[in-house]
Structure formats: C-alpha cells, structure tokens
Amino acid sequence: MNADVIVIGSGAAGLTAALSLAQRLKVLVLAKGNLTGGSTAWAQGGIAAVLDAGDTFEDHIRDTMVAGAGLNRLDTVEYVVERAPLAIGRLADLGVPFNTEGDHLHLHREGGHSHRRIAHVADATGWAVQEALIRAAEAHPNITLLPGQSCIDLITGRHEMRYSGSGRVWGVYALDEKTGKVEAHIGRATILATGGAGRVYQFSTAPRGATGDGIAMAWRAGARVSNMEMMQFHPTCLYNLEVKNFLITEAVRGEGGRLINPRTGKRFMPDYDERLELAPRDVVARAIDSEIKKYGLDFVHLDISHKPADFVREHFPNIHDKLISLGIDMTKEPIPVVPAQHYTCGGVVTDLDGRTDLPGLYAAGECAESGLHGANRLASNSLLECLVFGDAAASDILARWDEFDTPPAIRPWDESRVSDSDEEVIIKQNWTEIRRFMWNYVGIVRSTKRLERAAHRIKLLFDEVDDYYGHFRVTTDLIELRNLLQSADLIVRSALKRHESRGLHYTLDYPQTVEPPLDTVLVP
C-alpha cells in the first residue's frame, strides 16, 4: 500500500504526527495488533507542563536535567519544555477531559518535580489521550489506520529494483497478521513511533508488544542508537503472582504515599535520600532493590492509607478499583510493590526535527533518543515527548516536502526459500531465556561480569535465531524475538561501554560518576 507518509505506531507520537501531516498529505498508520495496544493507553500519571502560577520553564528544565544526571541535551530539553503548554492545549481541543480545580487544570506533583505540573485525567491519562487521538484520526479523510501489521524491516535503497546503497528509507515490509502475507508499504517519508523495548526484561510495566521493533529495524538499516543502557525501572509495580505488570503511578507517592519495609515496619526512604519518596525514579528503585535484597523480601509496602479514604478514591479511582478486585483496599492497607522495567530512555538518535541518520526516516517517542531524558526520564515527560516530537517530525516533513523524491520501484518480499515452522517452541524458549538473563544480569544493579555473561548468551542466541529466521516464514512471534534479541544486544553493548555509574546505569565495578557526561553512541 502506498501513501505520502508511512507512520509506524498508533500511540501518542504516531497519531500526533499523522494528524499534523494530514493537513496536506495522505498518511498510512500501521499498528501491530490493535490500535490501542501500545504504551500510550497504559500511561497513568499525566503530562508535565508549566501551568501553575508559581512555576517557570527554567524550573521544569532544571528538574529534567537533574533527573537525567546531566546527560540530557539542553537544547532538546528547552525545546520540549517550552512547547508543553501548547501540546496540552491541543489535546484539550481534541476533547481530552483533563481534571480541573475551579477554572484551572488540577495538577499532580510527582518525583523529581519541584512544582505541581502534571496535567492528568484522574489516573488514566494515557487512555484518554489515546481515545481522543484515535477518534480524530478515524474522522480524518487523509488518514488510513491499518491495525494487525507486524513490521519486519525498513525498505531502503538495498530493496530498490535497481539496487542502491544510499540508505534512503522508502517505507517498511510488514506481515499482515490475518492473511500471513508480507506487503511493502511505500512512502516518501517514514516515521518510527514504535515505543520501547521493555519486554526484553522478565518484569516490565510495558505492554506485550514493546519488543524494540523500531529501534532494531533502524539499527539493521544503518541508523545509530544511543544510551540504550539507560533502562528505567519504575519503583512501584504491583506485586501480585496473577497480575504481572500493573503499575502504581508515581502520583501515589506525590500525594503522600510512603514506602515501608514490611518486616521492620519502618519508612526507609529517609535512609537513602533527603527527597524521600519524591526522589527521582532511579534513586527510589535502587532503594527498594536494596531493602528487598538486604532483608530477603519479595516486596515492600507503599502506604497511602493515612490519607482520607475519599481523597484516595477520588485521585486514584482506577487503581483503587483494580486493587479492590484483587482483595486490597488501598484506603485501609498498604500496597505490595516491586520495581519493574518501565521505560527505554535510549533509542534511535534524532535531532530536534525528529530526523534520524537515514534520509527519509524520522523517529518520535520512546523509540527515539532525542536528548530529552538523558540518564533518567523525569516523571510524566514521556507523553510530552511523544506530542512534541510527533508534531516536530510532521512539521519538518511538511516544510521539506518538495525535496522528497518519488519512491522508486521496490522489490516484493521474497519467500521462495522458506517454509512454515514446525518448532514454535524454540521461539518461546529463547524469549524466556532472554528475559530472565536480562533481568538477572542487566537489571537495576549491574557488574562487568554479569554483563559479559549476558553478552555471551546473546552471541549464542544470535546464531540460533538467524538460522531459524533464514529457514522459516515470518510470524509475529519470530519478528518480535528477532527484535527483542537485537535490543538486548544493544543494551548490553552500551552498558559495557559506560565505565561509570550515572542515572539509571549503576554498576558495582564503576560506582563513581565521570565528568563530562558523554552519550554512549553505537554505530552499525
């Protein structure tokens, strides 16, 4: 299927870009699974922006830089922060029902923020944003939404009928999950908005499809990636043997929730940081990890039961109802929580226009490394990044449209030398193995020996997966496994290159921070 622009991903970044582009161009939006299967719909907290009378852009910029341990790019942080109020205004115009207090938006405060600046829709902001964007996209005549598409590889000059080594991107090959056929989706420009690689870990708050697809595809096509070792672990994921990835939003701590050691009954954050429960996520996650290991715990407690019950139910209705269904009343008792992988701060290197190294290819949102997050993402800057850079990529494409060539003839997908697999168990086994050794060896606290062990496992698995991929027809599971393994490799290689502890990357062998802060850039 041909369009002017191909957008891969139907979350906040992809749909923001599509709506901006559709003013003048025909846009095809591809989604793996259903349209709401990405991370946007899962976001509980909200969107950070300077909206309070006592707040300033300078404060938001400083908070972002402090959380990012100085690895952020200042020009990117300034660019995003200054556009945040406008981004929220556009969502309100689309019908997102932000909570209000009198004539103003009600603002949460979250860890790492010096002011209340989190605009939200109760504790289900992402779902409200996703719903409004899909509604607008479905109504637009220039946008085609195509779910059920598992993207395999970017189409570059190598796939032209007349071979070219230019690296120019012309779209993507994607598996139609219903028909089992692989189609070439071709456009003059392509935007990656594919989300992160959270499912590379055993415990993650990310949705099932967060397998690093865009990052892996861009890497294979020749784009640089940066800071992949900076994997954020959310401090408070519900500990429940049946519910594997239910997030307890940062805002619970922002509204007074306390972290308690269930064995000692003691509030332990005063032992780790003067900012207590409102310290940045990397600090809180390591503190919880330390308590769990020191006392042999399965979890710690997050307790907001000292607040009035009506206050808790009003501020966190969805979390309250979910916990009630599991037999936990957060108005009367503490919530058992553990850290879990939450956000991929690294990704495909982009500039302020969302451009990657490859002509015709843009990236926005969690799959990109724009310079906003540095060594640790500040709470509620994620949806904000999607909105700002989705619009930035679209604006650059529109401004430069006359420079984009008409796509050449592209070779169709070749299945002539493969057959249907009769050993799907291999995929499940390898997926399980990757997630376990990444959790144990490349988690919250790392060491060179652990990283080298992970690297050794990855090398062996590459041989297996490449052999399997070369002999059998692609399935969504195989596509995801291939991308998951590539993402794991990029994370481990990046972690081995950083000989310091900074932000989310904490290693026992290099506990000190080295100045000046430098990005870890990998070149294909």
pLDDT 10s digits, 185-224? 999 999 999 999 999 998 898 998 999 999 999 999 999 9
C-alpha 447/C-alpha 498 separation (Å) is 11
Q: Are 249 and 319 in contact (CB under 8 A)?
A: yes
Pairing state between β 521-522 and 225-226: antiparallel
Q: What's the confidence (pLDDT) of residue 426? A: 82
- What token pair was written down for 128? 């409200």
C-alpha 510/C-alpha 188 separation (Å) is 46
pLDDT 10s digits, 443-460? 999 999 999 999 999 999
Per mean pLDDT, which range of 121-130, 209-218, 298-307, 512-521 is the poorest? 121-130
pLDDT band at 442 (very low <50, low <70, confident <90, very high): very high
Host H or E run for residue 430? helix 425-441
Catalytic site positions: 281
**What backbone torsions phi and psi does residue 295 show, to the nearest 5 degrees?**
-105, 5
**Residue owning tokens 């710690």:** 300
Host H or E run for residue 310? helix 309-315
Q: What's the confidence (pLDDT) of residue 422? A: 66
pLDDT 10s digits, 340-362? 999 999 999 999 999 999 999 99
Closest CA to 348 of 491, 444, 473, 218: 218
Q: Are 259 and 301 in contact (CB under 8 A)?
A: yes
Q: What is the pTM of this model?
A: 0.91
**Residue owning tokens 């995801």:** 480
DSSP label at 449?
A: H
- pLDDT for residue 272 is more than 90: yes
Host H or E run for residue 67? helix 57-67
- What token pair was written down for 14? 């992809």
Q: What's the confidence (pLDDT) of residue 246? A: 86
Contacts of 209 (CB under 8 A, 6+ apart): 32, 33, 37, 38, 195, 199, 480
Tell me the mean pLDDT in the region 354-378: 97
Closest CA to 77 of 56, 60, 89: 60
Q: Are 186 and 407 in contact (CB under 8 A)?
A: yes
Buried b (16+ CB within 10 A) or exposed e, 425-448: ebbeebbeebbebbbebbbbebee
The side-by-side arrangement of strands in the sheet containing 258-260 is 231-238, 335-344, 300-303, 258-260
How many Å from the N-terminal Cα to the C-terminal Cα in the chain?
29
Tell me the mean pLDDT in the region 163-192: 96
Tell me the mean pLDDT in the region 475-486: 95
Q: Provide the sign of the torsion angle of the four alpha carbons 306, 307, 310, 312, taken in this order.
A: negative
| Other Cβ atoms closer than 10 A to 71 | 24
C-alpha 427/C-alpha 479 separation (Å) is 10
pLDDT band at 43 (very low <50, low <70, confident <90, very high): confident
Closest CA to 334 of 292, 308, 309, 306: 306
Tell me the mean pLDDT in the region 505-517: 96
**How many helices (H) and strands (E) would you count in the chain?**
13, 21
pLDDT 10s digits, 385-441? 999 999 999 999 999 999 999 999 999 998 877 777 766 788 889 999 999 999 889
